[in-house]
């Protein structure tokens, strides 16, 4: 089932059904294509699709709070989820605050056009973002 089929199925659920489904999820994933904004800006923004907003709200994932970002090579960075408003409405982005590349190369392993899987993980005591390369 691809993301468009999943979106279609989710749109059929009532708000209480959707909340019940999302509260039982411990993570959510979405694809992202590395673009010039990601490569050019120091915070390496990844725009979060609207379909993920309910997951963020139901799990009380707070914007601007430090969380760990894991890269495919095992390196980590400190990042946060940013919330903003533009002419088209509100949006959320994952941003890298500070890269700690003692064990790997972090952001520099990506090039324009790379397809990655972004996974937002939520457990009782931890929030984390994992980036993996898509084949």
Domain with residue 83: its CATH number is: 2.40.330.10
pLDDT, tens digit (0-9, with 9 covering 90-100), for 79-98: 999 999 999 899 999 999 87
Query: What's the pLDDT score for residue 40?
Result: 92
Task: Report percent pLDDT > 70 for the chain.
Answer: 90
Phi, psi of 125 (to 5 degrees): -115, 5
Question: Quick one: average pLDDT of 9-28?
Answer: 78
Domain count, the chain: 1
Rounded to the nearest 5 percent, the helix, strand and coil shares of the chain are 25, 40, 35
Which residue range(s) make up the domain with 19? Answer: 3-133
Q: How far is CA 129 from CA 27, 41, 67, 76, 123, in A?
A: 9, 19, 7, 10, 12
Per-residue pLDDT tens for 42-81? Answer: 899 999 999 888 888 877 787 888 999 999 998 889 999 9
């Amino acid at each position: 089932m691809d993301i468009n089929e999943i979106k279609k199925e989710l749109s059929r659920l009532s708000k209480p059904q959707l909340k019940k489904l999302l509260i039982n999820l411990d993570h959510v994933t979405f694809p992202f294509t590395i673009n010039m904004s990601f490569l050019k800006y120091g915070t390496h923004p990844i725009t979060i699709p609207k379909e993920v907003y309910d997951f963020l709200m139901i799990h009380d994932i707070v914007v601007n709070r430090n969380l760990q970002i894991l890269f495919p090579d095992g390196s980590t960075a400190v990042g946060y989820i940013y919330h903003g408003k533009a002419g088209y409405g509100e949006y959320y982005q994952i941003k890298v605050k500070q890269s700690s590349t003692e064990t790997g190369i972090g952001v520099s392993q990506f090039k324009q056009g790379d397809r990655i899987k972004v996974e937002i993980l939520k457990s009782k005591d931890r929030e984390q973002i994992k980036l993996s390369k898509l084949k």
